[in-house]
Amino acid sequence: MFISPSKSRGAIPLISLRPLPPLSPLLQLMLALLLVFGAQGHTAAQPIADRTLPWVTPSAQAPQVTQRIFESVTVGGPVSYHVYLPKVYLKTPDRLPVLYWLHGTEGGIAGIAPLSRFIDEAIEAGRYPPMIVVFVNGLPRRLWADSKDGASPVETVFIREVIPDVDRNFRTIAAREGRIIEGFSMGGYGAARLGLKHPQLFAGISILAGGPMDLEFQGPRAARSPRLREQILREVSGGELSHFQSISPWVAAESAVKSLRPHPLVIRQAIGERDDTIELTRRFRDHLDRLGIDHEYIELPGIGHDPLALIRGLGAAGGRFYRKALGL
């Protein structure tokens, strides 16, 4: 609406404005350069995610498991994850805690059905507390970290987008007291580094046969598959061992000592005695001991590098860990 100053009582009188003098040619050139280089700097600071990566996986077919796809601002396109809902979720209006499950090196779609069935049986039998389980899509070989070149911002998508999306769309206990992060193999590595890096988000960390847990990246699996080692180093760290070391759970643990004081965590490490990465797991256990980070450590006889066998082998200790982390 336009009000004429001459007819409106109390209106601000019009001010006569004189045109500004023209800019000198030198000043015009300086402003143009600032605009050009400023725009270039802004563009260079924005890493672009590789949208050809499998941000949306095939849908896993399992009872009480659904796939959710959301539009990721970080990726600039769709991203998927899977959610298991226990039967009690459908029967009551209660909010439930969430277990975030991180898969191994080559992705975890094949493991969702057997793992969700086992968890469902354990909840129905009262061995596990009722929980929502989110099977996060962390891409193959990406170490649950943002890649150095910005092409695969896995950590950013999980922490800043997946967790809020879960809390918005499901009846969760949307606080650290209602979240546990757990993973096997590369997922155990991811659970360790992300849980220790973000203790304000999680109440518990479960590291199952985590790897690669050594700073040298020279463990038995790397020795057997040097091409895979080089591929992971290239895709995640631009081929730089120093960058790989900087994002490792070892460094995350060292940095977490002070931050764990206001946010104490319930931490568990478990591995089978026949797992060939056991010595690296023991070294990480000793590292946590030296740092004074309280944790539970379990070795199970007769079990190799097998996620379901390891989880089954934990027996009642599995449920005790979840309840302790959730304060139940």
pLDDT digits (tens, 9 = 90+) for 273-295: 999 999 999 999 999 999 999 99
Structural domains counted in the chain: 1
Least confident of 13-17, 93-97, 270-274, 316-320: 13-17
What does the pLDDT read at residue 102? 98
Residue range of the domain that includes 274: 65-325
In terms of C-beta density within 10 A (0-12 exposed, 13-18 middle, 19 or more buried), how is residue 245 classed? middle
Amino acid in the structure at residue 235: E
What does the pLDDT read at residue 28? 52
Whether 261 is covered by a domain: the verdict is yes
Q: What is the mean pLDDT of residues 219-245?
A: 93
Strands 77-84 and 132-136: antiparallel
Q: What is the mean pLDDT of residues 220-236?
A: 91
Which residue do the tokens 């600071």 mark? 45
What does the pLDDT read at residue 201? 97
What does the pLDDT read at residue 185? 96
What does the pLDDT read at residue 24? 58
What's the rounded Cα separation, in Å, for the pair 196 and 37? 39
Residues 6 or more apart in contact with residue 17 via CB below 8 angstroms: none
DSSP state of 204: E
Query: Is the predicted pLDDT of residue 4 greater than 70, yes or no?
Result: no
Q: What is the mean pLDDT of residues 180-209?
A: 97
Least confident of 4-13, 50-59, 109-118, 273-282: 4-13
What does the pLDDT read at residue 243? 97
Whether 148 is covered by a domain: the verdict is yes
Question: Which pTM value belongs to this model?
Answer: 0.85
pLDDT: is 248 or 20 the higher one? 248
Q: What is the mean pLDDT of residues 72-76?
A: 96
What does the pLDDT read at residue 223? 86
What's the rounded Cα separation, in Å, for the pair 290 and 253? 11
What does the pLDDT read at residue 221? 83
Task: Give the model's confidence band at 38: pLDDT under 50 very low, under 70 low, under 90 confident, else very high.
Answer: very low
Q: Dihedral (C-alpha) 309, 311, 317, 321: value to the nearest 10 degrees?
A: 170
Whether 111 is covered by a domain: the verdict is yes
CATH number of the domain where residue 110 is located: 3.40.50.1820
How much of the chain exceeds pLDDT 70, in percent? 86
Whether 8 is covered by a domain: the verdict is no
What does the pLDDT read at residue 20? 45
Amino acid in the structure at residue 311: I
Whether 9 is covered by a domain: the verdict is no
Task: Give the model's confidence band at 261: pLDDT under 50 very low, under 70 low, under 90 confident, else very high.
Answer: confident
Which tokens sit at 128? Answer: 């596990």
Whether 19 is covered by a domain: the verdict is no
Whether 16 is covered by a domain: the verdict is no
**How many other C-beta atoms can be found within 10 angstroms of the C-beta atom of residue 260?**
18
Element (H, E) at 116: helix 109-124
Considering the chain, what is the average pLDDT of its residues? Answer: 88
Whether 87 is covered by a domain: the verdict is yes
